[in-house]
Chains A and B, each alone.
Chain A
Amino acid sequence: MILLGFILLLLALLGAPLFAIIAGSAFYSYYQEDIDLAALAIEFFSLAEMPVLLAIPLFTFAGYLLSESEAPSRLVRLTQALLGWMPGGLAIVSLAACAFFTAFTGASGVTIIALGAILYPALKQAGYPEKFNLGLVTSAGSLGLLFAPSLPLILYGIVAREPIDDLFLAGILPGMVMLVMLAGWSLWVSRGSKQELVPFSGKRVVAALKESAWELPLPIVVLGGIYSGYFAVSEAAAVTALYALIVEVGILREIKLAALPGIMRESMLLVGGILIILGVSLASTNIMIDAGVPQQLLEWVSGLVDSKTSFLLLLLVFLLILGAILDIFSALVLVVPLLLPVAAQYGIDPLHLGIVILAAKQLGYLTPPVGLNLFIASYRFERSITEVYSATFPFLIILLASVVVITFWPQLSLVFLSR
């Protein structure tokens, strides 16, 4: 058992796909428990018994579609027209635009590629220090993770069996805390630098609004539709996908029909990768719960910590280490079912737990050695990875501070909910 675990761990570290590792361990546990291995296929088939899953391919596709269109530059022009007049404005523009965009694209690195390419040169031109720009764009690339309808939020809801619309509400204030703390830091750092400010002009705001007129209704339709009870989360995803398709391909014609299959394929690679992990872990999680792994985990944890506060501290350390190794989607699917019962024993609300996990995992995008954003930024902006590390470090510290705030102030996550 221990030997096999060690071999699987080694294979995982050598780069074997995680779904194969999970399936391998599930096969072994089934074999040990004398369960027919065909049960794994039956568990996998239960992917077809979860109605909310529909939201994952549809939101992902809509996000990819938006990022391939001119929507990112329109979004930057709009926020620029609204906020560009104040000192440090462009830095805040960058943060806000990235957060908004990531919420829709699900933090798969698309933001740095789509928005970073516009913002990075713009910041430089406006006179912000080079290193600051690199750090800002890299760390902003996963900022909107806590805002609806981000993919990780939906996935947590599915795995933890919590209502996804409640999770959307829970993410608002913690997401704002991250945004505001980073904005404050940006203002502080850029206070001395010479920037070209653009005076506020009503005309420009109107022009930018007009230009974005087709995309602006999207968040209203999605969130308004969900909270008015007009449609479910998966239906909101369908509406978003169809709307984005009609606007970007049919009306604005920024995406050629011939390019559409390629975009569909690209987006479904990510979806396939997430869903197959979810499918095989349905099998492995069930057997772990049957074998009493959460109870053992709880016994072990309660030997280490006795209060809610110290548990949260331990959880945070664990999540930060995990974040440096495992991507957010695999981590959610693997760890959440085991953490939930333990956290419940310490009186932690599952919604708050979800927000803490996502916030801490967001740091994982920026922590060496595997932080995805670091690699994408290094590649995209042609900077060495060490340069990106050091440029991102101050932002990482600020984000860490915000995660601590979010963790130890549960009301931030729960204030909009009747719990």
Chain B
Amino acid sequence: MARLSRWGKAAEDAVLVILLGAMIVLAVAQIIMRNGFGSGLIWADETLRLMVLWLALAGSVAAARADKHLAINVLARALPPRGQSISRFITNGFTSVICGMLAWHAWRFLQQSIEFEDTLVGGLPAWWFQVVLPVGFALMCWRYFVFALEDIVAGIRGTRRWPVSPGDHTP
């Protein structure tokens, strides 16, 4: 389990680093080509926009792991340890369900896209790029499901899961 989690984090890091690095290189290359040679890569702008979408999902998955999604935590903070566990169990369970619904409907969207043979970036199958939606949301669904399970354990043991650290309601 611990190894799985380490591998998962390494994979997330790799995706984030590659996407961000490629984005910087491609965007700068595009400026140089346009201003220096009066031309540009035709597929670059669209690819960059799709990379932003990928980065949004990859960053969200990573933010879910770190439990750093934007949220309002004032009320829950004031609760006693067991109350915090219960409230966190409810909110994490809810988030897991919502992510599951997002993943499911993104999957249906993907199927339609495959069926209609949608294309992007000059003829490539659109679902190659859209697949990030169901995968990303499914990973987040899993993450919040694990959180909810941890909350049950914490609730039984009566341990406090929230360290009093600043700014954990905003990344």
**11 further interface pairs, Cβ-Cβ under 8 Å (given A38-B109, A54-B48, A277-B70):** A16-B95, A41-B102, A45-B133, A54-B23, A57-B55, A261-B17, A268-B20, A268-B55, A273-B171, A372-B166, A372-B169
Q: Which of A27, A50, A329, A380 contacts B166 (CB 8 A)?
A: A380
Question: Could you tell me how many residues of chain B have their Cβ less than 8 Å away from some Cβ of chain A?
Answer: 63
Inter-chain contact A13/B55, CB cutoff 8 Å: no
Inter-chain contact B76/A376, CB cutoff 8 Å: no
Inter-chain contact A14/B63, CB cutoff 8 Å: no
CA A241 – CA B31 in complex, angstroms? 14
Inter-chain contact B20/A18, CB cutoff 8 Å: no
Inter-chain contact A268/B90, CB cutoff 8 Å: no
CA A46 – CA B128 in complex, angstroms? 16
| With known contacts A108-B170, A238-B31, A15–B112 Cβ distance under 8 A | no
Interface check B167, CB cutoff 8 A: yes
Q: Which of B48-92 contact A (CB under 8 A)?
A: 48-50, 52-53, 55-63, 66, 68-76, 87-88, 90-92
Q: Which of B23, B63, B72 contacts A13 (CB 8 A)?
A: B72
A105 CB to nearest chain B CB (Å): 13
Hey, which chain A residues are within 8 Å of B73, CB to CB? 15, 370
Interface check A369, CB cutoff 8 A: yes
Q: Which of B45, B61, B98, B165 contacts A272 (CB 8 A)?
A: B61
Interface check B135, CB cutoff 8 A: no
Inter-chain contact B55/A271, CB cutoff 8 Å: yes
Hey, which chain B residues are within 8 Å of A42, CB to CB? 109
CA A24 – CA B105 in complex, angstroms? 13
Interface check A378, CB cutoff 8 A: yes
Q: Which residue of B lies closest to A7 (CB)?
A: B94
Inter-chain contact A235/B56, CB cutoff 8 Å: no
Q: Which residue of A lies closest to B92 (CB)?
A: A16
| With known contacts A265-B12, A372-B170, A242–B28 Cβ distance under 8 A | yes
Hey, which chain A residues are within 8 Å of B12, CB to CB? 265
CA A24 – CA B63 in complex, angstroms? 19
Q: Which residue of B lies closest to A378 (CB)?
A: B166
Q: Can you offer 24 A-B residue contacts whose CB atoms are under 8 A?
A: A11-B91, A18-B71, A19-B70, A38-B109, A47-B52, A51-B48, A53-B49, A54-B49, A108-B170, A108-B171, A109-B170, A235-B27, A238-B24, A260-B17, A261-B17, A268-B59, A271-B56, A272-B57, A273-B171, A276-B57, A276-B63, A327-B70, A372-B169, A379-B165
Q: Which residue of B lies closest to A275 (CB)?
A: B56
Interface check A84, CB cutoff 8 A: no
Q: Chain B CB within 10 Å — which of A54, A108, A276, A376 has the most?
A: A276
Hey, which chain B residues are within 8 Å of A261, CB to CB? 13, 16-17
Q: Which of B99, B106, B169 contacts A41 (CB 8 A)?
A: B106
Inter-chain contact B27/A17, CB cutoff 8 Å: no
| With known contacts A234-B27, A238-B28, A268–B58 Cβ distance under 8 A | yes
Interface check A73, CB cutoff 8 A: no
CA A404 – CA B46 in complex, angstroms? 43
Inter-chain contact A16/B71, CB cutoff 8 Å: yes
Inter-chain contact B52/A48, CB cutoff 8 Å: yes
CA A242 – CA B23 in complex, angstroms? 10
CA A61 – CA B105 in complex, angstroms? 31
Q: Which residue of B lies closest to A369 (CB)?
A: B74
Hey, which chain B residues are within 8 Å of A50, CB to CB? 49, 52
Q: Which of A13, A45, A56, A380 contacts B75 (CB 8 A)?
A: A13
Hey, which chain A residues are within 8 Å of B16, CB to CB? 261, 264-265, 268
Interface check A270, CB cutoff 8 A: yes
| With known contacts A15-B76, A325-B72, A276–B24 Cβ distance under 8 A | no
Inter-chain contact A44/B106, CB cutoff 8 Å: yes
- The 7 nearest A-B residue pairs measured at CB: A272-B59, A238-B27, A275-B56, A375-B166, A16-B91, A17-B69, A379-B166
Hey, which chain A residues are within 8 Å of B63, CB to CB? 269-270, 272-273, 276
Q: Chain A CB within 10 Å — which of B30, B53, B58, B133 has the most?
A: B53
